[in-house]
Structure 1
Amino acid sequence: MTARIRFGLLSFAHFHANFWADAINGSDKAELVGIWDDDVTRGQAAASKYGTQFVPDLAALLDQCDAVGITSETAKHVALVEAAAARGVNILLEKPMARNLAECRRIVEIVRQSGVTFMQNFPKRYDPINHELIRLVRDGVLGEISLVRVRHGNAHLMELGAAAAANWFGQREQAGGGALLDEGIHAADLLLWLLGEPEKVSAFVSNATLGLSLEDTALAIFSYPSGALAEIATGGTLLAAEGSIEVFGTHGVAVLSGVDMASRFFARPPYLKIFRRNMGRNEWEGIDLTPNFQHGHFHHGGPLHFIEVLRGEAQPVLSLEDGWKPVAMIEAAYRASETGQAQPVTFSLDPDGK
């Protein structure tokens, strides 16, 4: 497929749809052919803003598209994936893949049966500074990894306060979970990329700060076959921060800053720095890279990469498996929080966990 990709956006419920529309409009390899939304007023406003048509009939828009981006409420992901796949339309899906593993299983079945090109969106995968962090680990620069700490969050819930409960992401039925699923899923994806599959998890969630029905703050600790431990700290109540990711190894340490909203406006260069064991105790070695977050393009990478994939110019960096495995980690963390006991993390779509 070498012609311009006819791209549609399904729902502006998720704010990231605005970044996707910007990215598509800014590409000479694609065109935004239309927007569908079950909220007509919201959809019409988005279409006017981004200079395209609002199509109230979902099937009618799908018939005009080579690809769609799904940025709806998480509860509607399965139905919209099914509608697009039934018409042979390729799919870019906003995170998380679904509210739970049962819904992930259905999405995987739909995509495999249809044969459409599918890509799960996790924007950390498109940022060169994250690739450099991964290289440091995989090339053994830091030695054997003993501990990873990932904080990924923002102050969005804090800014909304009680009003968050009226939004879809403040409702369990629509979102599937609170900060752990919404923001912590980014960290889960990074940990899978960095360390592979964990074995067990212990976790705590809290809604004490804002009193919502969903958690506004969460902490999960994963253990790995190597003996390494990894922590996800997340929340919608993080007013300011600096270091986002810390990786501790036997030969050195890497610290990455400015790669989430909590730290975006507070981190300063060098954003990625490493300490090597043979360096002085007060020395850091800075890496000359700037996170996409600092450029304001963090959420643009997904649609731009997907367009290149559909044109045969790139291989997808994320797959169906990359979509559901982070959900498996978060679902296990919720079980650990509910039971007060460490839980196994089972990477299987089999209903029996086999």
Structure 2
Amino acid sequence: MTVLKAAVIGCGSIAKNRHLLEYDANEQVKITAVCDIVQARAQETANTYGAAAYTDYKDLLQKEDIDIVSVCLPNNLHAPVSIAALEAGAHVLCEKPMATSSEEAQAMIDAAERSGKKLMIGHNQRFVSSHERAHRLIQSGDVGKIYSFRTTFGHGGPEGWSADGKDSWFFDKEKAFIGAMGDLGVHKADLLRYLLGEEFVNVAGFIENNAKEGITVDDNAVCILRTESGVIGTMAASWAYVPQEDNSTIIYAEKATLRLEDDPVHSLVVQYVNGEVVKYELGQIQSNDAGGQTNTHVIDHFVKSIVNNQQPLIDGYEGKRSLEVILAAIESEEATKISK
């Protein structure tokens, strides 16, 4: 059996609650190195998994023989560290958003192609059971033509989940580049592209900071989106949804309405126009409210794609397209302002 040597760069909450746990649970992976600029955090993580500890990712890439690198860093470091890891000969799983610009995203794609290594972006919403089932129903034609949608992803903010709490890099525009839209909205942009099977051609974004004081990024955003075939709908991302998370999506179609993660018991409810209602119990979506310690299937999929030499479901091109939706939302925010 092939055993891949993995390194995790960035040992904050996303690494602790997702990447490290899921690598450790995969019998085809051994965590051999970790890196974090906070030495105590790196060492504690290394001790937990029997790995080598580093505070400089360049040292790690130079000294360790690594097959896989997970990049779990502030958004402004996604591109440079991913490119360095690819050039060092490792396959790369990078957290979302993929980069801070379309140009950075393309540079990551180019680096992957030059190195012959795989690049995957950690958009875990595609692997949620209710989303996979809805995708199959839509693609099969069971619900007919899609007319509209509304989707939202909101919670109380990264301070309740991030390793650094209120001092988290998520609130620093220089490091994060964008707030709730980059943290949560890009997940939903990717999900909608997956569910609808289409690209968006028009985006109108309304991005605001009105809930948290002292931060330099958005904490509330709403977008209006239109696909190639004319499907229109709304996408909301927020760090002001208290006291509980909302991660729901509603798809309005010709023959049925699909309600995803909108019911506390049934993760997918399909309401057909003939009056029939089908309720699916497919397990809970991974939640920051619950500590995030559920299997996202992202790691397992990435490992399988490497072992079987298959293209990951969310490769660099897919990550770039989802990123470009939120980049367009930012641009439209400026373009649609009414002059006084």
Deviation (angstroms), 1:99: 1.3
Q: Distance in 2 between matches of 1:141 and 1:72?
A: 41
Q: Which residue of 2 aligns with 1:177?
A: 178
Q: Which residue of 2 aligns with 1:247?
A: 251
Q: 1:186 to 1:13 in 2, by over 3 A?
A: same
Q: Which residue of 1 aligns with 2:123?
A: 122
Deviation (angstroms), 1:41: 2.7
1:289 to 260, 265, 282: 282
Q: 1:234 to 1:16 in 2, by over 3 A?
A: farther
Q: 1:157 to 1:119 in 2, by over 3 A?
A: closer
Paired AA for residue 36 in structure 2: D
Q: Which residue of 2 aligns with 1:348?
A: none
Q: 1:49 to 1:243 in 2, by over 3 A?
A: closer
Deviates more, 1:313-322 or 1:291-300: 291-300
Q: Distance in 2 between matches of 1:103 and 1:313?
A: 25
Q: Which residue of 2 aligns with 1:150?
A: 151
Q: Distance in 2 between matches of 1:154 and 1:277?
A: 32
Paired AA for residue 7 in structure 1: A
1:325 to 298, 321, 338: 321
Q: Distance in 2 between matches of 1:90 and 1:315?
A: 12
Q: Distance in 2 between matches of 1:151 and 1:120?
A: 20
Q: Which residue of 2 aligns with 1:337?
A: 333
1:269 to 265, 269, 285: 265
Q: 1:273 to 1:243 in 2, by over 3 A?
A: farther
Q: Distance in 2 between matches of 1:100 and 1:165?
A: 26
Paired AA for residue 233 in structure 1: A
Deviation (angstroms), 1:157: 4.6
Q: Distance in 1 between matches of 2:309 and 2:135?
A: 23
Deviation (angstroms), 1:284: 2.9
Q: 1:92 to 1:144 in 2, by over 3 A?
A: same
Q: Distance in 1 between matches of 2:69 and 2:246?
A: 35
Q: 1:230 to 1:150 in 2, by over 3 A?
A: same
Paired AA for residue 136 in structure 2: R
Q: 1:16 to 1:237 in 2, by over 3 A?
A: farther
Deviation (angstroms), 1:164: 6.4
1:306-317 alignment runs, 5 A limit = 306-312=302-308, 315-317=311-313
Q: 1:76 to 1:242 in 2, by over 3 A?
A: closer
Deviation (angstroms), 1:243: 6.9
Can you give the 5+ residue segments of structure 1 that lack an aligned partner in the other structure?
A: 259-266, 343-354
Q: Distance in 1 between matches of 2:320 and 2:74?
A: 17
Q: Distance in 2 between matches of 1:109 and 1:3?
A: 27
The alignment's TM-score, normalised by the length of structure 1, stands at 0.85
The alignment's TM-score, normalised by the length of structure 2, stands at 0.89
Q: Which residue of 1 aligns with 2:90?
A: 89
Q: 1:331 to 1:315 in 2, by over 3 A?
A: closer
Confirm whether residue 200 of structure 1 aligns to residue 213 of structure 2.
Answer: no
2:92–2:120 CA contact under 8 A, matched in 1? yes
Deviation (angstroms), 1:132: 0.5
Deviation (angstroms), 1:277: 0.8
1:17–1:71 CA contact under 8 A, matched in 2? no
Q: Distance in 2 between matches of 1:252 and 1:156?
A: 33
Confirm whether residue 220 of structure 1 aligns to residue 223 of structure 2.
Answer: yes
Paired AA for residue 245 in structure 1: T
- Which string of whole-angstrom CA distances, capped at 9 and with x for unpartnered residues, describes residues 214-273 of structure 1? 111110010123221121111111113567010001111000116xxxxxxxx4221211
Deviation (angstroms), 1:339: 2.0
Deviation (angstroms), 1:45: 2.5
Deviates more, 1:241-250 or 1:115-124: 241-250
Q: Which residue of 2 aligns with 1:32?
A: 31
- Which string of whole-angstrom CA distances, capped at 9 and with x for unpartnered residues, describes residues 160-188 of structure 1? 9xx96632111111011010111101000
Q: CA RMSD for the aligned pairs?
A: 2.5
Paired AA for residue 120 in structure 1: I
Q: 1:150 to 1:299 in 2, by over 3 A?
A: farther
1:92-107 alignment runs, 5 A limit = 92-107=93-108
Q: 1:118 to 1:221 in 2, by over 3 A?
A: same
1:123–1:298 CA contact under 8 A, matched in 2? no
* Corresponding residue SS for 2:211: coil
Q: Distance in 1 between matches of 2:231 and 2:90?
A: 41
1:231-246 alignment runs, 5 A limit = 231-239=234-242, 240=244, 244-246=248-250
Confirm whether residue 47 of structure 1 aligns to residue 46 of structure 2.
Answer: yes
Q: Which residue of 2 aligns with 1:351?
A: none
